[in-house]
Structure 1
Amino acid sequence: MHPYFSLAGRTALVTGGSRGIGRMIAQGLLEAGARVVICARDGEACRQVAEELSQYGECLGLAADLSGEDGARALAEELAGRIERLDILVNNAGTTWGAPLESYPAKGWEKVMQLNVTAVFGCIQQLLPLLRKAGSQASPARVINIGSVAGISAFGEQAYAYGPSKAALHQLSRILAKELVSEHINVNVIAPGRFPSKMTRHIAGNEASLAEDVALIPMRRWGRAEEMAALAVSLCGLAGAYMTGAIIPIDGGFSL
Protein backbone atom coordinates (compact mmCIF):
# COMPACT_ATOMS: atom_id res chain seq x y z
CA MET A 1 0.00 0.00 0.00
CA HIS A 2 1.21 3.50 -0.81
CA PRO A 3 2.42 5.26 2.38
CA TYR A 4 -0.05 8.09 1.73
CA PHE A 5 -2.84 5.71 2.72
CA SER A 6 -1.19 3.24 5.09
CA LEU A 7 -2.54 3.11 8.65
CA ALA A 8 -0.08 0.46 9.83
CA GLY A 9 0.60 0.74 13.54
CA ARG A 10 -2.52 2.83 14.24
CA THR A 11 -5.31 1.84 16.62
CA ALA A 12 -8.90 2.85 15.85
CA LEU A 13 -12.28 2.71 17.57
CA VAL A 14 -15.48 2.70 15.50
CA THR A 15 -18.69 3.11 17.49
CA GLY A 16 -21.70 1.41 15.96
CA GLY A 17 -19.18 -0.58 13.96
CA SER A 18 -21.16 -3.80 13.64
CA ARG A 19 -23.28 -2.74 10.66
CA GLY A 20 -23.96 -0.11 8.02
CA ILE A 21 -21.56 2.79 7.61
CA GLY A 22 -19.66 1.84 10.75
CA ARG A 23 -18.85 -1.58 9.39
CA MET A 24 -17.85 -0.11 6.02
CA ILE A 25 -15.37 2.19 7.73
CA ALA A 26 -14.08 -0.50 10.09
CA GLN A 27 -13.28 -2.78 7.18
CA GLY A 28 -11.54 0.03 5.30
CA LEU A 29 -9.36 0.90 8.29
CA LEU A 30 -8.43 -2.76 8.73
CA GLU A 31 -7.52 -3.10 5.07
CA ALA A 32 -5.31 -0.03 5.43
CA GLY A 33 -3.40 -1.75 8.23
CA ALA A 34 -4.99 -0.38 11.41
CA ARG A 35 -5.90 -2.38 14.48
CA VAL A 36 -9.63 -1.76 14.93
CA VAL A 37 -11.98 -1.98 17.89
CA ILE A 38 -15.69 -1.90 17.09
CA CYS A 39 -18.41 -1.44 19.66
CA ALA A 40 -22.19 -1.73 19.64
CA ARG A 41 -24.99 -2.16 22.14
CA ASP A 42 -25.46 -5.82 21.14
CA GLY A 43 -22.17 -7.21 22.37
CA GLU A 44 -22.61 -10.71 20.98
CA ALA A 45 -23.49 -9.47 17.49
CA CYS A 46 -20.55 -7.09 17.66
CA ARG A 47 -18.15 -9.88 18.56
CA GLN A 48 -19.45 -11.99 15.67
CA VAL A 49 -18.89 -9.13 13.23
CA ALA A 50 -15.41 -8.60 14.68
CA GLU A 51 -14.62 -12.24 13.93
CA GLU A 52 -15.81 -11.75 10.34
CA LEU A 53 -13.75 -8.58 9.95
CA SER A 54 -10.66 -10.29 11.36
CA GLN A 55 -9.95 -11.67 7.89
CA TYR A 56 -8.79 -8.12 7.03
CA GLY A 57 -6.70 -7.49 10.16
CA GLU A 58 -6.80 -7.40 13.95
CA CYS A 59 -10.35 -6.57 15.07
CA LEU A 60 -11.91 -6.62 18.53
CA GLY A 61 -15.62 -6.32 19.32
CA LEU A 62 -16.89 -4.79 22.56
CA ALA A 63 -20.34 -4.20 24.03
CA ALA A 64 -21.10 -0.53 24.72
CA ASP A 65 -24.40 1.19 25.45
CA LEU A 66 -23.88 4.87 24.64
CA SER A 67 -27.43 5.92 25.44
CA GLY A 68 -26.24 7.36 28.77
CA GLU A 69 -23.19 9.05 30.25
CA ASP A 70 -22.08 5.94 32.09
CA GLY A 71 -21.74 4.01 28.82
CA ALA A 72 -19.06 6.30 27.39
CA ARG A 73 -17.18 6.25 30.69
CA ALA A 74 -17.28 2.45 30.88
CA LEU A 75 -16.10 2.13 27.28
CA ALA A 76 -13.17 4.49 27.93
CA GLU A 77 -12.19 2.56 31.05
CA GLU A 78 -12.23 -0.76 29.22
CA LEU A 79 -10.20 0.61 26.34
CA ALA A 80 -7.65 2.14 28.70
CA GLY A 81 -7.04 -1.36 30.05
CA ARG A 82 -6.48 -2.77 26.57
CA ILE A 83 -4.62 -0.09 24.56
CA GLU A 84 -1.98 2.54 25.28
CA ARG A 85 -3.27 5.17 22.87
CA LEU A 86 -6.10 5.81 20.42
CA ASP A 87 -5.02 7.15 17.05
CA ILE A 88 -8.46 7.19 15.41
CA LEU A 89 -11.95 7.64 16.85
CA VAL A 90 -14.92 7.26 14.51
CA ASN A 91 -18.17 8.31 16.18
CA ASN A 92 -20.69 6.52 14.01
CA ALA A 93 -23.32 5.21 16.44
CA GLY A 94 -26.60 7.03 15.88
CA THR A 95 -30.33 6.69 15.50
CA THR A 96 -33.40 8.31 13.97
CA TRP A 97 -37.12 8.57 14.72
CA GLY A 98 -39.90 9.26 12.23
CA ALA A 99 -43.47 10.36 12.97
CA PRO A 100 -46.00 12.95 11.72
CA LEU A 101 -45.38 16.47 12.98
CA GLU A 102 -48.55 16.58 15.10
CA SER A 103 -47.72 13.38 16.94
CA TYR A 104 -43.91 13.52 17.04
CA PRO A 105 -43.06 12.42 20.61
CA ALA A 106 -40.72 14.19 22.98
CA LYS A 107 -39.13 10.82 23.81
CA GLY A 108 -38.20 10.41 20.13
CA TRP A 109 -36.59 13.84 20.05
CA GLU A 110 -34.68 13.14 23.26
CA LYS A 111 -33.45 9.72 22.10
CA VAL A 112 -32.11 11.09 18.81
CA MET A 113 -30.38 14.06 20.42
CA GLN A 114 -28.86 11.87 23.12
CA LEU A 115 -27.27 9.33 20.81
CA ASN A 116 -26.44 11.61 17.86
CA VAL A 117 -25.03 14.56 19.82
CA THR A 118 -24.64 14.05 23.56
CA ALA A 119 -23.12 10.58 23.28
CA VAL A 120 -20.58 11.77 20.71
CA PHE A 121 -19.52 14.57 23.04
CA GLY A 122 -19.27 12.07 25.90
CA CYS A 123 -17.12 9.65 23.89
CA ILE A 124 -14.69 12.36 22.84
CA GLN A 125 -14.57 13.72 26.39
CA GLN A 126 -13.90 10.32 27.97
CA LEU A 127 -11.38 9.22 25.34
CA LEU A 128 -9.33 12.42 25.35
CA PRO A 129 -6.50 10.91 27.43
CA LEU A 130 -5.95 8.13 24.87
CA LEU A 131 -6.26 10.55 21.93
CA ARG A 132 -3.75 12.94 23.52
CA LYS A 133 -1.22 10.12 23.88
CA ALA A 134 -1.53 9.35 20.16
CA GLY A 135 -1.39 12.83 18.68
CA SER A 136 1.76 14.60 17.55
CA GLN A 137 2.54 17.53 15.29
CA ALA A 138 3.74 15.16 12.57
CA SER A 139 0.74 12.86 12.89
CA PRO A 140 -2.30 14.21 14.81
CA ALA A 141 -4.86 11.88 16.32
CA ARG A 142 -8.05 11.82 14.23
CA VAL A 143 -11.67 12.13 15.29
CA ILE A 144 -14.23 11.52 12.56
CA ASN A 145 -17.83 12.25 13.45
CA ILE A 146 -20.47 10.80 11.15
CA GLY A 147 -22.91 13.60 10.40
CA SER A 148 -25.39 13.66 7.53
CA VAL A 149 -26.56 15.68 4.56
CA ALA A 150 -29.76 15.92 6.63
CA GLY A 151 -27.80 18.40 8.76
CA ILE A 152 -27.08 20.50 5.66
CA SER A 153 -30.29 20.24 3.62
CA ALA A 154 -33.95 20.68 4.62
CA PHE A 155 -35.02 17.24 3.36
CA GLY A 156 -36.54 15.97 6.59
CA GLU A 157 -38.78 13.00 5.73
CA GLN A 158 -40.71 13.47 9.01
CA ALA A 159 -37.58 12.63 11.01
CA TYR A 160 -37.78 16.00 12.73
CA ALA A 161 -35.02 15.45 15.28
CA TYR A 162 -32.54 13.78 12.93
CA GLY A 163 -31.50 16.73 10.77
CA PRO A 164 -31.22 19.14 13.73
CA SER A 165 -29.18 16.55 15.65
CA LYS A 166 -26.73 16.22 12.77
CA ALA A 167 -26.51 19.98 12.31
CA ALA A 168 -25.70 20.24 16.02
CA LEU A 169 -23.05 17.53 15.61
CA HIS A 170 -21.51 19.43 12.70
CA GLN A 171 -21.23 22.59 14.80
CA LEU A 172 -19.97 20.71 17.85
CA SER A 173 -17.27 19.20 15.64
CA ARG A 174 -16.15 22.63 14.43
CA ILE A 175 -15.96 23.93 18.00
CA LEU A 176 -13.94 20.90 19.15
CA ALA A 177 -11.69 21.09 16.08
CA LYS A 178 -10.70 24.64 17.00
CA GLU A 179 -10.17 23.76 20.66
CA LEU A 180 -8.23 20.51 20.19
CA VAL A 181 -5.99 21.47 17.28
CA SER A 182 -3.31 22.73 19.70
CA GLU A 183 -3.28 19.27 21.29
CA HIS A 184 -2.64 17.60 17.92
CA ILE A 185 -6.16 16.16 17.60
CA ASN A 186 -7.98 16.75 14.31
CA VAL A 187 -11.79 16.67 14.24
CA ASN A 188 -13.65 16.32 10.95
CA VAL A 189 -17.12 15.28 9.83
CA ILE A 190 -18.21 12.91 7.10
CA ALA A 191 -21.77 13.84 6.05
CA PRO A 192 -23.19 10.88 4.12
CA GLY A 193 -26.13 10.88 1.77
CA ARG A 194 -27.75 7.56 0.92
CA PHE A 195 -25.80 4.40 1.76
CA PRO A 196 -27.14 0.91 2.53
CA SER A 197 -27.87 0.69 6.26
CA LYS A 198 -30.56 -0.25 8.77
CA MET A 199 -31.91 3.30 8.54
CA THR A 200 -32.39 3.08 4.76
CA ARG A 201 -33.50 -0.53 4.31
CA HIS A 202 -37.18 0.48 4.14
CA ILE A 203 -36.30 2.39 0.96
CA ALA A 204 -33.90 -0.17 -0.50
CA GLY A 205 -36.50 -2.92 -0.08
CA ASN A 206 -39.17 -1.11 -2.09
CA GLU A 207 -38.53 -0.76 -5.81
CA ALA A 208 -40.80 2.27 -6.26
CA SER A 209 -39.40 4.05 -3.19
CA LEU A 210 -35.83 3.37 -4.30
CA ALA A 211 -36.47 4.75 -7.80
CA GLU A 212 -38.10 7.87 -6.32
CA ASP A 213 -35.18 8.34 -3.94
CA VAL A 214 -32.47 7.88 -6.55
CA ALA A 215 -34.18 10.45 -8.78
CA LEU A 216 -33.32 13.11 -6.17
CA ILE A 217 -29.59 12.35 -6.36
CA PRO A 218 -27.66 13.98 -9.23
CA MET A 219 -25.47 10.87 -9.67
CA ARG A 220 -28.65 8.72 -9.77
CA ARG A 221 -27.36 6.10 -7.37
CA TRP A 222 -26.60 5.39 -3.71
CA GLY A 223 -23.10 5.37 -2.30
CA ARG A 224 -21.00 2.21 -2.21
CA ALA A 225 -19.27 0.71 0.81
CA GLU A 226 -15.80 1.08 -0.67
CA GLU A 227 -16.39 4.79 -1.33
CA MET A 228 -17.24 5.44 2.31
CA ALA A 229 -14.26 3.39 3.46
CA ALA A 230 -11.88 5.21 1.11
CA LEU A 231 -12.92 8.64 2.40
CA ALA A 232 -12.44 7.57 6.02
CA VAL A 233 -9.02 6.07 5.25
CA SER A 234 -7.98 9.30 3.52
CA LEU A 235 -8.98 11.39 6.54
CA CYS A 236 -7.04 9.07 8.83
CA GLY A 237 -3.95 9.07 6.64
CA LEU A 238 -1.69 11.77 5.26
CA ALA A 239 -4.54 13.54 3.47
CA GLY A 240 -6.18 14.32 6.80
CA ALA A 241 -3.07 15.48 8.65
CA TYR A 242 -3.58 19.16 7.67
CA MET A 243 -7.37 19.11 7.76
CA THR A 244 -9.57 19.90 10.73
CA GLY A 245 -13.05 21.34 11.21
CA ALA A 246 -14.21 20.19 7.76
CA ILE A 247 -17.76 19.00 6.99
CA ILE A 248 -17.41 16.68 3.99
CA PRO A 249 -20.56 15.60 2.11
CA ILE A 250 -20.38 12.24 0.37
CA ASP A 251 -23.78 12.18 -1.27
CA GLY A 252 -23.62 11.95 -5.05
CA GLY A 253 -24.36 15.67 -5.24
CA PHE A 254 -27.59 15.60 -3.20
CA SER A 255 -26.63 18.55 -1.00
CA LEU A 256 -26.23 20.72 -4.10
Structure 2
Amino acid sequence: MFPELFSVSGKTVLVTGGTRGIGYMIAEGYLRAGARVYITSRKEAACAEAATALSEFGEVQAIPCDVTSEDQCQALIDAIAAREPKLHVLVNNAGATWGAPLDEFPDAAWDRVLGANVKAPFTMTRVARPLLEKASTEQDPARVINIGSIDGLAVPGVPNFSYSASKAAIHHLTRHLAAELAPTILVNAIAPGPFPSKMTAALLAEAGDQLKAASPVGRIGEPADIAATAVFLSSRASNFIAGAVIPLDGGLTTTIGIKF
Protein backbone atom coordinates (compact mmCIF):
# COMPACT_ATOMS: atom_id res chain seq x y z
CA MET A 1 0.00 0.00 0.00
CA PHE A 2 2.76 2.47 0.90
CA PRO A 3 4.37 2.62 -2.58
CA GLU A 4 0.92 3.20 -4.11
CA LEU A 5 0.62 6.43 -2.14
CA PHE A 6 3.37 7.94 -4.31
CA SER A 7 2.23 6.46 -7.62
CA VAL A 8 1.08 8.48 -10.63
CA SER A 9 1.09 5.48 -12.96
CA GLY A 10 -1.74 5.68 -15.48
CA LYS A 11 -2.53 9.33 -14.80
CA THR A 12 -2.85 11.87 -17.60
CA VAL A 13 -0.83 15.04 -17.15
CA LEU A 14 -0.55 18.33 -19.06
CA VAL A 15 2.66 20.33 -18.67
CA THR A 16 2.63 23.77 -20.27
CA GLY A 17 6.02 24.98 -21.42
CA GLY A 18 7.12 21.36 -21.34
CA THR A 19 9.58 21.50 -24.22
CA ARG A 20 12.57 22.83 -22.30
CA GLY A 21 13.96 23.75 -18.88
CA ILE A 22 11.99 22.95 -15.76
CA GLY A 23 8.92 21.96 -17.78
CA TYR A 24 10.93 19.34 -19.66
CA MET A 25 12.40 18.03 -16.38
CA ILE A 26 8.90 17.70 -14.93
CA ALA A 27 7.53 16.00 -18.05
CA GLU A 28 10.36 13.48 -18.05
CA GLY A 29 9.75 12.76 -14.37
CA TYR A 30 6.07 12.00 -14.94
CA LEU A 31 6.90 9.74 -17.88
CA ARG A 32 9.47 7.82 -15.87
CA ALA A 33 6.82 7.42 -13.15
CA GLY A 34 4.33 5.88 -15.60
CA ALA A 35 2.04 8.80 -16.45
CA ARG A 36 0.80 9.79 -19.92
CA VAL A 37 2.03 13.28 -20.63
CA TYR A 38 0.95 16.11 -22.90
CA ILE A 39 3.39 18.98 -23.38
CA THR A 40 2.86 22.29 -25.06
CA SER A 41 4.84 25.25 -26.33
CA ARG A 42 4.24 28.11 -28.74
CA LYS A 43 6.60 26.66 -31.35
CA GLU A 44 5.54 23.59 -33.30
CA ALA A 45 9.14 22.60 -34.03
CA ALA A 46 10.06 22.72 -30.33
CA CYS A 47 7.04 20.56 -29.53
CA ALA A 48 8.01 17.94 -32.08
CA GLU A 49 11.66 17.87 -31.00
CA ALA A 50 10.83 17.55 -27.30
CA ALA A 51 8.19 14.88 -27.89
CA THR A 52 10.68 12.81 -29.87
CA ALA A 53 13.29 13.05 -27.10
CA LEU A 54 10.80 12.39 -24.30
CA SER A 55 9.22 9.40 -26.03
CA GLU A 56 12.20 7.38 -24.81
CA PHE A 57 10.66 7.49 -21.34
CA GLY A 58 6.97 6.88 -22.03
CA GLU A 59 3.79 7.96 -23.81
CA VAL A 60 4.01 11.65 -24.66
CA GLN A 61 2.18 13.91 -27.09
CA ALA A 62 2.91 17.53 -27.95
CA ILE A 63 0.35 20.15 -28.99
CA PRO A 64 1.46 23.69 -29.87
CA CYS A 65 -0.29 26.41 -27.87
CA ASP A 66 0.26 30.04 -26.91
CA VAL A 67 -1.06 29.99 -23.35
CA THR A 68 -1.50 33.76 -23.33
CA SER A 69 -4.39 33.28 -25.79
CA GLU A 70 -7.69 32.22 -24.23
CA ASP A 71 -8.83 30.73 -27.53
CA GLN A 72 -5.67 28.64 -27.83
CA CYS A 73 -5.96 27.46 -24.22
CA GLN A 74 -9.49 26.27 -24.94
CA ALA A 75 -8.40 24.64 -28.20
CA LEU A 76 -5.63 22.79 -26.36
CA ILE A 77 -8.01 21.43 -23.73
CA ASP A 78 -10.53 20.49 -26.45
CA ALA A 79 -7.78 18.59 -28.29
CA ILE A 80 -6.87 16.67 -25.14
CA ALA A 81 -10.53 16.01 -24.35
CA ALA A 82 -10.94 14.48 -27.81
CA ARG A 83 -8.22 11.95 -26.91
CA GLU A 84 -8.65 11.51 -23.15
CA PRO A 85 -11.74 11.02 -20.98
CA LYS A 86 -10.17 12.99 -18.13
CA LEU A 87 -7.12 14.98 -17.03
CA HIS A 88 -5.60 14.18 -13.65
CA VAL A 89 -2.92 16.87 -13.39
CA LEU A 90 -2.33 20.32 -14.90
CA VAL A 91 1.12 21.84 -14.46
CA ASN A 92 1.14 25.55 -15.25
CA ASN A 93 4.81 26.00 -16.05
CA ALA A 94 4.96 28.18 -19.19
CA GLY A 95 6.11 31.71 -18.46
CA ALA A 96 8.16 34.71 -19.43
CA THR A 97 10.79 36.94 -17.86
CA TRP A 98 12.25 40.39 -18.46
CA GLY A 99 15.24 42.20 -17.04
CA ALA A 100 16.20 45.85 -17.35
CA PRO A 101 17.39 48.66 -15.05
CA LEU A 102 14.63 50.50 -13.20
CA ASP A 103 14.86 53.66 -15.30
CA GLU A 104 14.70 51.64 -18.51
CA PHE A 105 12.05 49.11 -17.53
CA PRO A 106 9.22 49.37 -20.10
CA ASP A 107 5.48 49.09 -19.57
CA ALA A 108 5.43 46.32 -22.17
CA ALA A 109 7.41 44.14 -19.77
CA TRP A 110 4.51 44.19 -17.32
CA ASP A 111 1.89 43.28 -19.89
CA ARG A 112 3.94 40.42 -21.34
CA VAL A 113 5.21 38.91 -18.10
CA LEU A 114 2.05 39.18 -15.99
CA GLY A 115 0.03 37.93 -18.93
CA ALA A 116 2.15 34.80 -19.27
CA ASN A 117 2.89 34.17 -15.59
CA VAL A 118 -0.40 35.04 -13.90
CA LYS A 119 -3.28 35.44 -16.33
CA ALA A 120 -2.40 32.40 -18.44
CA PRO A 121 -2.27 29.92 -15.51
CA PHE A 122 -5.63 31.24 -14.32
CA THR A 123 -7.17 30.87 -17.78
CA MET A 124 -5.70 27.41 -18.31
CA THR A 125 -6.99 26.25 -14.93
CA ARG A 126 -10.43 27.64 -15.67
CA VAL A 127 -10.79 25.99 -19.07
CA ALA A 128 -9.25 22.70 -17.86
CA ARG A 129 -11.50 22.49 -14.81
CA PRO A 130 -14.24 20.30 -16.37
CA LEU A 131 -11.68 17.74 -17.59
CA LEU A 132 -9.91 17.80 -14.23
CA GLU A 133 -13.18 17.27 -12.38
CA LYS A 134 -13.81 14.12 -14.42
CA ALA A 135 -10.56 12.66 -13.06
CA SER A 136 -11.17 13.63 -9.45
CA THR A 137 -12.21 11.13 -6.80
CA GLU A 138 -12.67 11.50 -3.06
CA GLN A 139 -9.64 9.29 -2.47
CA ASP A 140 -7.48 11.02 -5.11
CA PRO A 141 -8.49 14.54 -6.17
CA ALA A 142 -7.29 16.10 -9.41
CA ARG A 143 -4.32 18.44 -9.17
CA VAL A 144 -3.13 21.82 -10.41
CA ILE A 145 0.53 22.67 -9.84
CA ASN A 146 1.69 26.23 -10.53
CA ILE A 147 5.38 26.90 -11.04
CA GLY A 148 6.38 30.01 -9.13
CA SER A 149 9.87 31.10 -8.13
CA ILE A 150 11.95 32.03 -5.12
CA ASP A 151 12.02 35.48 -6.76
CA GLY A 152 8.44 35.73 -5.53
CA LEU A 153 9.53 34.87 -1.97
CA ALA A 154 12.61 37.07 -1.57
CA VAL A 155 13.90 40.16 -3.36
CA PRO A 156 16.15 38.95 -6.20
CA GLY A 157 19.53 40.46 -6.91
CA VAL A 158 18.64 41.27 -10.52
CA PRO A 159 16.27 43.94 -11.92
CA ASN A 160 13.47 41.61 -13.07
CA PHE A 161 10.71 43.68 -11.49
CA SER A 162 7.71 42.33 -13.40
CA TYR A 163 8.94 38.74 -13.12
CA SER A 164 9.39 38.78 -9.33
CA ALA A 165 6.03 40.52 -8.91
CA SER A 166 4.35 37.97 -11.17
CA LYS A 167 5.75 35.07 -9.17
CA ALA A 168 4.54 36.56 -5.90
CA ALA A 169 1.17 36.91 -7.62
CA ILE A 170 1.04 33.29 -8.82
CA HIS A 171 1.85 32.15 -5.30
CA HIS A 172 -1.14 34.02 -3.94
CA LEU A 173 -3.34 33.00 -6.87
CA THR A 174 -2.45 29.42 -5.94
CA ARG A 175 -3.88 29.97 -2.46
CA HIS A 176 -6.99 31.65 -3.85
CA LEU A 177 -7.65 28.86 -6.37
CA ALA A 178 -7.00 26.24 -3.69
CA ALA A 179 -9.71 27.77 -1.53
CA GLU A 180 -12.09 27.84 -4.49
CA LEU A 181 -11.47 24.39 -5.98
CA ALA A 182 -10.75 22.08 -3.02
CA PRO A 183 -11.60 19.36 -2.25
CA THR A 184 -12.30 18.37 -5.88
CA ILE A 185 -9.07 19.88 -7.24
CA LEU A 186 -6.02 20.47 -5.06
CA VAL A 187 -3.96 23.48 -6.12
CA ASN A 188 -0.37 23.94 -4.97
CA ALA A 189 2.76 25.71 -6.19
CA ILE A 190 6.45 24.96 -6.42
CA ALA A 191 8.86 27.90 -6.06
CA PRO A 192 12.11 26.71 -7.64
CA GLY A 193 15.47 28.25 -6.91
CA PRO A 194 18.29 28.08 -9.45
CA PHE A 195 18.01 25.17 -11.87
CA PRO A 196 19.95 24.73 -15.12
CA SER A 197 17.82 26.10 -17.99
CA LYS A 198 17.92 28.53 -20.87
CA MET A 199 16.31 31.17 -18.64
CA THR A 200 18.98 30.86 -15.95
CA ALA A 201 22.01 30.17 -18.17
CA ALA A 202 23.41 33.69 -17.98
CA LEU A 203 22.86 33.93 -14.22
CA LEU A 204 24.51 30.58 -13.53
CA ALA A 205 27.45 31.43 -15.78
CA GLU A 206 28.03 34.66 -13.89
CA ALA A 207 27.10 33.70 -10.33
CA GLY A 208 26.73 29.92 -10.21
CA ASP A 209 29.59 29.46 -7.73
CA GLN A 210 28.20 32.14 -5.42
CA LEU A 211 24.74 30.56 -5.51
CA LYS A 212 26.18 27.16 -4.62
CA ALA A 213 28.15 28.70 -1.78
CA ALA A 214 25.08 30.51 -0.47
CA SER A 215 22.97 27.36 -0.47
CA PRO A 216 22.95 25.29 2.74
CA VAL A 217 23.08 22.13 0.59
CA GLY A 218 25.95 23.46 -1.50
CA ARG A 219 24.52 23.02 -4.98
CA ILE A 220 21.89 24.19 -7.46
CA GLY A 221 18.80 22.21 -8.39
CA GLU A 222 18.88 19.02 -10.42
CA PRO A 223 16.17 17.56 -12.69
CA ALA A 224 15.31 14.85 -10.16
CA ASP A 225 14.55 17.50 -7.51
CA ILE A 226 11.80 19.24 -9.47
CA ALA A 227 10.47 16.01 -11.00
CA ALA A 228 10.14 14.30 -7.62
CA THR A 229 8.34 17.29 -6.08
CA ALA A 230 5.84 17.46 -8.95
CA VAL A 231 5.20 13.71 -8.80
CA PHE A 232 4.68 13.88 -5.03
CA LEU A 233 2.18 16.73 -5.39
CA SER A 234 0.30 14.65 -7.98
CA SER A 235 0.09 11.49 -5.89
CA ARG A 236 -2.19 10.39 -3.06
CA ALA A 237 0.69 11.06 -0.68
CA SER A 238 -0.14 14.78 -0.95
CA ASN A 239 -3.91 14.49 -0.48
CA PHE A 240 -3.79 16.69 2.63
CA ILE A 241 -1.88 19.55 0.98
CA ALA A 242 -3.71 22.47 -0.63
CA GLY A 243 -2.69 26.07 -1.19
CA ALA A 244 0.95 25.38 -0.36
CA VAL A 245 3.92 27.12 -1.94
CA ILE A 246 6.94 24.81 -1.63
CA PRO A 247 10.37 26.48 -1.84
CA LEU A 248 12.57 24.14 -3.86
CA ASP A 249 15.84 25.96 -3.42
CA GLY A 250 18.13 24.00 -1.11
CA GLY A 251 17.28 26.39 1.72
CA LEU A 252 18.29 29.62 0.00
CA THR A 253 15.14 31.46 1.08
CA THR A 254 14.15 29.45 4.15
CA THR A 255 17.50 29.94 5.95
CA ILE A 256 18.33 33.46 4.81
CA GLY A 257 19.65 35.67 7.58
CA ILE A 258 20.37 39.35 8.17
CA LYS A 259 23.88 40.30 9.18
CA PHE A 260 24.58 43.59 10.96
| TM-score, normalising length: structure 2 | 0.94
* Secondary structure of the structure 1 residue equivalent to 2:40: strand
Identity of aligned residues (%): 46
Deviates more, 1:74-83 or 1:184-193: 74-83
In the alignment, the residues of structure 1 paired with residue 88 and residue 138 of structure 2 have an alpha-carbon distance, to the nearest angstrom, of: 13
Q: Structure 1 residue 156: deviation in Å?
A: 4.7
| Structure 2 Cα separation of the partners of residues 20 and 62 of structure 1 | 17
Which residue is 2:237 aligned to? 239
Q: Secondary structure at the match of 2:116?
A: helix
Give the match for residue 138 of structure 1. 139
The question of whether the paired residues in 2 share the 8 Å contact of 1:98 and 1:158 is answered with yes
What do the CA deviations read for 1:68-114 (whole angstroms, capped 9, x no partner)?
22221221222221211100100000110000000100001110000
Structure 1 SS opposite 2:195: coil
Give the whole-Å Cα distance in 2 for the aligned partners of 1:149 and 1:2: 30
Asked if residue 226 in structure 1 is aligned to residue 224 in structure 2, the reply is yes
Partner of 1:78: 79
Correspondence for 1:46: 47
Kindly indicate whether the alpha-carbon contact (under 8 Å) linking 2:19 and 2:40 is maintained by their aligned counterparts in 1: yes
Any conservation in 2 of the 1:8–1:33 contact (CA below 8 Å)? yes
TM-score between the two structures when normalised by the length of structure 1 = 0.95
Q: Following the alignment from structure 2 to structure 1, what is the Cα–Cα distance between the partners of residues 165 and 72?
A: 23
Partner AA of 2:233 in structure 1: L
Q: Which residue of 2 aligns with 1:56?
A: 57
CA contact (8 A) 1:30 1:58 kept: yes
- SS of alignment partner, residue 27 of structure 2: helix
Per the alignment, in what secondary structure is the counterpart of residue 153 of structure 1? coil
8 A contact 2:47–2:62 mirrored in 1? yes
Cα deviation for residue 134 of structure 1 reads: 0.6
- Count of residue pairs brought into register by the alignment: 253
Q: Is the 8 A contact 2:211 2:220 kept in 1?
A: no
What's the Cα RMSD here? 1.4
Checking the alignment, whether the CA contact within 8 Å between 1:188 and 1:244 is kept in structure 2 is yes
Deviation per residue, 1:30-80 (Å, 9 max, x gap)? 111100000011122112211211111100011001122222122122222
Shift of 1:180: 0.5
For the 8 Å contact 1:5–1:32, the answer to whether it is kept is no
In structure 2, give the amino acid aligned to 1:234.
F
Distance 1:104 1:136 in 2: 46
Q: Write the distance in 2 (CA, Å) between the matches of 1:181 and 1:48.
A: 36
Q: Report the 3-state secondary structure (helix = DSSP H, G, I; strand = E; otherwise coil) of the residue aligned with 1:63.
A: coil
Distance 1:114 1:186 in 2: 23
Instruction: Name the residue aligned to 2:116.
Output: 115
Task: Give the equivalent residue in structure 2 for 1:199.
Answer: 199
Query: How many Å separate the matches in 2 of 1:239 and 1:63?
Result: 32
CA shift at 1:238, angstroms?
1.9
Corresponding residue number in structure 2 for 1:124 = 125
Q: 1:24–1:229: 8 Å Cα contact kept in structure 2?
A: yes
